[in-house]
């Protein structure tokens, strides 16, 4: 476990790096729908990428989740688009660390840590998302390569991605037993990038589409065993969902703090609007909910670091914190009134950013289904 003093030092470092390399440019990035490529290299040089990757492969050698949570909190605090870093650091880098051969580690991990290689994960298809068994992208063995055919959408880092973890069907086995994972690299013959997708929130997320027209992927880029892709994905989902929960909780805490400040400073009918009982009760409820969520997320972080975080608890953390983020963002916008509804206002931006959190990484409905099944229902 990382010592509190070391975490405080890391937090200050994150804050300084983001203040220099992200905050001054973020409005432009949001307008353009993508962050500058130089940002990835800057945060890589600063040691903010691959914190959990072993030192021998260029990472920080800190497999615990606390540093990841601190980085997420500082991204939120700085108003910087978080999903791209989360997808790269907490999803793809963790797969590449846990599921690759030594040769694959040497090829991909150092670049992912320096920011020279930007990573993405491509699961969702135009015809479906949460149902892995419904994946239609196929991979057919052809000598020393696989031919990938199909399409993926809503790929975070889709345009910048130098490598993408892609799920494809390698057999007709029922359910998810025929799913395999491949690392598809930039420049792969038959790989085409579709249009950048304009999103309501997190506008600099670089969300795009990938198309595979018989894309020739070397057999050496198979991630793990053929047919074991679903098992690998399920093993990584608790961490991915906790990453989303960390962003959601940090966002809810920030929105609440701003709402409380506004309630103290804004006056109506001769008094601060926080003196009105309805507003005071609304904020008291939100503060209680955030406090309880913080306790549970901290519990889940400890469980993950101990190798004991269950799929069920990760699902609980993901759906509860993301729905909480949406509720608090909505309450905060209501409290800010017309000023909050202005384009670019902090309250309005948070309101827009919050909405997708209950959708990606497994929707709230899917999370509740998982929890219900754990109850034997």
**Same domain for 356 and 291:** yes
pLDDT at 132: 81
pLDDT at 128: 74
E-state strands within the chain: 119-122, 138-142, 145-156, 163-169, 179-185, 191-193, 207-218, 222-223, 267-268, 271-272
**Same domain for 275 and 306:** yes
pLDDT tier at 175 (50, 70, 90 boundaries)? confident
pLDDT at 1: 57
Give the residue with greater pLDDT, 176 vs 111.
111
**Same domain for 270 and 193:** no
- Mean per-residue pLDDT for 198-219? 95
DSSP code per residue over 40-52? HHHHHHTT-S-TT
- What CATH number does residue 324 fall under? 1.20.140.10
Q: What is the pLDDT of residues 220-266, one digit of tens each?
A: 999 999 999 999 998 899 999 999 999 999 999 999 999 999 999 99
- What CATH number does residue 17 fall under? 1.10.540.10
Give the separation between CA 286 and CA 167, rounded to whole angstroms.
39
**Same domain for 193 and 135:** yes
% the chain with pLDDT above 90: 90
**Same domain for 220 and 196:** yes
**Same domain for 51 and 8:** yes
Q: Does the annotation count 240 as an active-site position? A: yes
Q: What is the pLDDT of residues 15-27, one digit of tens each?
A: 999 999 999 999 9
Give the separation between CA 255 and CA 346, rounded to whole angstroms.
8
Round the average pLDDT of the chain to a whole number and report it. 94
- Mean per-residue pLDDT for 130-149? 92
Strand duo 163-169 + 119-122: pairing: parallel
Q: Which domain holds residue 87?
A: 4-117
**Same domain for 252 and 368:** yes
**Same domain for 370 and 236:** yes
Give the residue with greater pLDDT, 248 vs 128.
248
Strand, helix or coil for residue 223: strand
**Same domain for 263 and 152:** no
Domain boundary among 193, 225, 257: 225
Domain boundary among 204, 225, 246: 225
- Mean per-residue pLDDT for 344-349? 94
**Same domain for 247 and 209:** no
Q: Which of 30, 209, 240, 253 is catalytic?
A: 240
**Same domain for 186 and 62:** no
- Mean per-residue pLDDT for 268-295? 96
The domain tally of the chain equals 3
Domain boundary among 225, 254, 272: 225
């Amino acid at each position: 476990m990382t010592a509190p003093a070391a975490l405080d030092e890391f937090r200050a470092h994150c804050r300084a790096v983001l203040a220099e390399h992200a905050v001054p440019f973020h409005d432009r990035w949001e307008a353009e729908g993508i962050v500058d490529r130089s940002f990835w290299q800057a945060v890589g040089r600063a040691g903010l990428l691959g914190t959990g990757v072993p030192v021998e492969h260029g990472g920080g050698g800190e497999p615990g989740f606390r540093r990841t949570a601190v980085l997420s909190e500082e991204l939120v605090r700085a108003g910087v688009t978080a999903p791209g870093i989360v997808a790269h650091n907490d999803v793809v880098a963790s797969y590449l660390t846990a599921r690759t051969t030594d040769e694959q580690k040497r090829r991909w991990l150092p670049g992912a840590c320096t920011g020279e290689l930007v990573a993405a994960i491509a699961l969702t298809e135009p015809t479906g998302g949460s149902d892995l068994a419904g994946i239609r992208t196929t991979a057919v063995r052809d000598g020393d390569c696989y031919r990938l055919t199909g399409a993926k959408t809503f790929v975070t880092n889709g345009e910048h991605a130098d490598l993408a973890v892609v799920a494809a069907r390698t057999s007709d086995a029922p359910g998810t037993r025929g799913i395999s994972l491949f690392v598809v690299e930039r420049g792969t013959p038959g790989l085409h990038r579709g249009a950048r997708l304009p999103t309501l929130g997190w506008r600099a997320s670089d969300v795009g589409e990938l198309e595979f027209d018989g894309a020739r992927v070397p057999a050496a880029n198979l991630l793990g065993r053929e047919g074991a892709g679903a098992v690998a994905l399920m093993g990584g989902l608790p961490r991915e969902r906790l990453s989303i929960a960390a962003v959601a909780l940090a966002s809810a805490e920030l929105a609440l703090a701003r709402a409380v400040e506004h309630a103290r400073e804004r006056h109506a009918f001769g008094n601060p609007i926080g003196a009105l009982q309805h507003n005071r009760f609304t904020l008291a409820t939100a503060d209680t909910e955030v406090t309880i969520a913080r306790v549970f997320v901290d519990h889940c972080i400890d469980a993950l670091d101990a190798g004991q975080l269950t799929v069920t608890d990760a699902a609980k953390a993901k759906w509860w914190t993301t729905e909480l983020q949406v509720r608090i963002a909505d309450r905060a916008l209501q409290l800010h009134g017309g000023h909050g509804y202005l384009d670019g206002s902090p309250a309005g931006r948070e309101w827009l950013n919050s909405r997708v959190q209950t959708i990606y990484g497994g929707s709230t409905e899917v999370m509740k289904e998982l929890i219900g099944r754990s109850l034997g229902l």
